[in-house]
Amino acid sequence: MARQIGDVIVDLQNISLRFGGVKALTDISFNVKEHEIRSIIGPNGAGKSSMLNVINGVYHPQEGQIFFKGALRKKMEPHEAAEQGIARTFQNIALFKGMTVLDNIMTGRNLKMKCNFLQHALYWGAAQKEEIAHRIKVEEVIEFLEIQDIRKTPVGRLPYGLQKRVELARALAAEPHILLLDEPMAGMNVEEKQDMCRFILDVNDHYGTTIVLIEHDMGVVMDISDRVVVLDYGKKIGDGEPDEVKNNPDVIKAYLGTTH
Amino acid sequence: MLYREAGQFKATYAEDSQIFPIRQDKIGFWVLMLVFGVAVPLLTNEYWLKAILIPVLIFSLAAIGLNILTGYAGQLSLGSAAFMAVGAFAAYNFILRIEGMPFLVALVLAGLTAAAVGILFGLPSLRIKGFYLAVATLAAQFFIVWALVKFPWFSNNSSSGVVTAQDVTILGYTFATPEAKYVLTFLIVSFMALLAKNMVRSSTGRAWMAVRDMDVAAQVIGFRLMRTKLLAFAVSSFYCGVAGALYAYTYIGTVEPEGFNLDLSFKILFMIIIGGVGSIMGSFLGAAFIVLLPIFLDNVVPVIFGDSLGAGFVSNFQLIVFGGLIIFFLIVEPHGLARLWQIAKEKLRLWPFPH
């Protein structure tokens, strides 16, 4: 494989997150290395999505520290996470339903666009040039994900599998260092899953993007992940390479139960 | 058969992202501009200009303002008339109190004043959404009208609160005739509509729509909610403010705060619901519809039902028709006339084939 797994890029230490009396995450530590595909798995309600929300600043944990590229991260808002190169997709598709595929993907590039609203209003010179320059970048992503034929379609009209792909495109348009994918393959049929796996591996290979993945399809997870972390009831019960995790008795217990 | 885009190829992204990418649309647009910019002021009479065309243009501008806020940025507002009042009274005071103030500068300053007030009343939108925000803007509606009545300074101590707009003079030319006022209004409204269209098709507009459709996702990809929402309030109020100033200066001439009441705010809201939420063209269609419908009913109802019904019935009948139409559009076509027009165009492209 061309890519080389690098140093630790995100380091989470003793993260605890509570919503009132509900403990969503308890004392979780793990790290993500550059260029790797890191999966988070666990039964429903284990706190996987909360974990992603902590990484990109939607939730602020009550305890614990997050180091991002070696620097301690203070309370960070989602747009600041975006500025630092963290992009994500959502479990329930979070596209902008009233906009076309093209506009949705263009929003992914908003942080790289420098013109202000007055320049946009005149749409002359710099604003137009900028719009076209970013359109070229967006078209690259569209080509990469093979969605050329739907670029002018409003996303609300697209089938589920394609919407997931458009959401990935929007995240990719930001040229992120880290891509957080929340169940990118949920509800897909086999072919759609294969396509999505291929895109995820291609993104990882081609752009070197670090990927943090939540997924329920164990076949997929064990196949494409470099390392896997397992959560259950907000606690970490396993961490390591796929084979290691697969044979971890705690993980088997969480998924299959034990005989009493 | 005439409406085909076959043979019109786009070789660059600039060509592909034009406002009217299809040639027939472009021709149609310029024909309309010529008709309303040149033929109409030359050929129509004073009644049409003063009672129909000028108000349609001014309300279109206000509707664009509300559409930016509600249709594009998704923030429901019931204060549009109040922001128009701010614009009207700001323009009046700028021209009154500053010697030699050029009209167009006063217009921009009036818009900026309204924008500042809009930002102030937009602050609650950072915390509250939907109906609750609508109630907060309702506060703006009542507070602003109250303040304009309460403090006589705004109306230059006029005992009745009514102010008479000064003459509109640009570079020594006084716009006195309805034709001149119409052309001036037409140029200003067309120019501002173009600016609005440009904003909504570029990154600014995408930010508004992103916040409207899914605010958490918008934040996660890097939009700042506060900045985006307040910009929408500012731009929207600017448009409403300029519309209010034009309302005073090129339409009715004398204005009082009570004229900008909640009824007018609702009227503008109806315009965007009927015309098309989230559409610049819809703002024009909605304004034309709402201005023309009562006139149409005034002329048609007595013909159908005879004179026996009395004037009271006709005006109540208007309300019934309005209410019915609003419900009809909300249920059947929430995107309004603009969407109907779009569907018609799509059908026309395929005509005479069904698919």
The residue count of chain B comes to 355
Peptide bond into B352 cis (omega under 30): yes
In a domain? residue A90: no
Apex B287 CA angle, B282 and B288, nearest 5: 100
Give the three-state DSSP class for A120: helix
Last residue of a domain, one of A157, A173, A189: A173
A1 pLDDT above the threshold of 60: no
Which of the four pLDDT bands, split at 50, 70 and 90, describes residue A255?
confident
Interface contact B11, partner A, CB < 8 A: no
Residue A191 domain-assigned?
A: yes
Q: Are residues A62 and A108 in the same domain?
A: no
Q: Let me know whether A195 and A150 are in one domain.
A: no
Q: Is the pLDDT of residue B279 over 60?
A: yes
Residue A41 lies in a domain: yes
| A33 and A79 housed in the same domain | yes
Inspect the interface and report whether the beta carbons of B223 and A79 lie closer than 8 Å: yes
- DSSP state, A148? G
Integer Cα distance of A249 and A227 in angstroms: 17
At B322, the pLDDT band (50, 70, 90 cuts) reads confident
The CATH number given to whatever domain includes residue A197 is 3.40.50.300
- The answer as to whether A230 is a domain residue is yes
Q: Do A251 and A181 fall within a single domain?
A: yes
**Domain co-membership, A60 together with A6:** yes
Are both A3 and A80 inside the same structural domain?
Answer: yes
A111 token code pair: 């942080």
- A121 touching B (Cβ < 8 Å): yes
Q: Which residues are bridge partners to A211 per DSSP?
A: A37, A179
**A119 CA: distance to closest CA in chain B (Å):** 9
Q: What is the DSSP letter of A154?
A: B
Last residue of a domain, one of A173, A188, A218: A173
Min distance A201 CA to chain B CA atoms (Å) = 22
* Whole-angstrom distance, CA of residue A132 vs CA of residue A138: 10
Q: For the segment B46-88, what is each residue's pLDDT rounded down to a tens digit?
A: 888 888 999 999 999 999 999 999 999 999 999 999 999 999 9
Instruction: Using CA coordinates, name the residue in chain A closest to B207.
Output: A107
Measured CA to CA, the distance from residue A108 to residue A114 in angstroms comes to 14
* Domains observed in chain B: 45-350 (1.10.3470)
The pLDDT value given to residue A176: 92
Q: How far is CA B232 from CA B60, B64, B79, B236, in A?
A: 17, 12, 14, 6
- How many angstroms separate the CA of residue B257 from the nearest CA in chain A? 31
pLDDT confidence of residue B190: 95
CA A160 from chain centre, in angstroms, equals 18
The answer to whether ipTM exceeds 0.95 is no
In a domain, A126, yes or no: yes
A91 located within any domain: no
Note the pLDDT tens digit of each residue in B195-213: 999 999 999 999 999 999 9
Cα–Cα distance, A62 to A21 (Å, whole number): 12
Give contacts of B209 with chain A, Cβ < 8 Å: 96, 98-99, 103
Same domain, A57 and A5: yes
Classify residue A20: in a domain, yes or no: yes
Whether residues A32 and A67 share a domain: the answer is yes
Task: Tell whether A1 is covered by a domain.
Answer: yes
What pLDDT was estimated at residue B307? 67
Contact yes or no for A102/B17 (Cβ under 8 A): no
What is the residue range of A29's domain?
A: 1-85+176-260
pLDDT value for B68:
95
Examine the domain organization and report whether A122 and A22 are in the same domain. Answer: no
Enclosing H/E stretch for A27: strand A22-33
Question: Of the residues A173, A203, A228, which one is the last residue of a structural domain?
Answer: A173
**Is A110 close to B199, i.e. CB distance below 8 A?**
no
Check whether residue A126 and residue A51 sit in a common domain.
no
What whole-number distance in Å separates Cα of residue B284 and Cα of residue A76?
Answer: 43
Beta bridge partners of A235: A232
The CA distances from residue A197 to A184, A215, B99, B212, in Å, are 9, 11, 70, 31
Q: Does residue A168 sit in the same domain as residue A226?
A: no
Chain segment A17-62, per-residue pLDDT in tens: 998 888 889 999 999 999 999 999 988 888 899 999 999 888 999 9
Q: How confident is the model at residue B280 (pLDDT cuts 50, 70, 90)?
A: very high
User: Over 90: is that where the pLDDT of B300 sits?
Assistant: no
Q: Looking at the structure, do residues A80 and A132 belong to the same domain, yes or no? A: no
| Contact check, Cβ <8 Å, B220/A95 | no
Structural domain count, chain A: 2
Question: Which chain B residues in 261-280 lie under 8 Å from chain A, judged by CB atoms?
Answer: 278
- Mutate one of A53, A59, A79 to test the B interface: name it (highest B CB count within 10 A): A79
Contact of B24 with chain A, judged by CB distance below 8 Å, is answered with: no
Beta strands in chain B, from DSSP E residues, in sequence order:
163-164, 169-170, 173-174, 254-255
Give me the pLDDT at residue B154, please. 87
Asked if residue B260 lies in contact with residue B160, where contact means CB atoms within 8 angstroms, the answer is no
Q: Distance between alpha carbon B78 and the CA centroid of its chain, in Å?
A: 13
Could you give the CA distance from residue B201 to residue B196 in angstroms, rounded to a whole number? Answer: 9
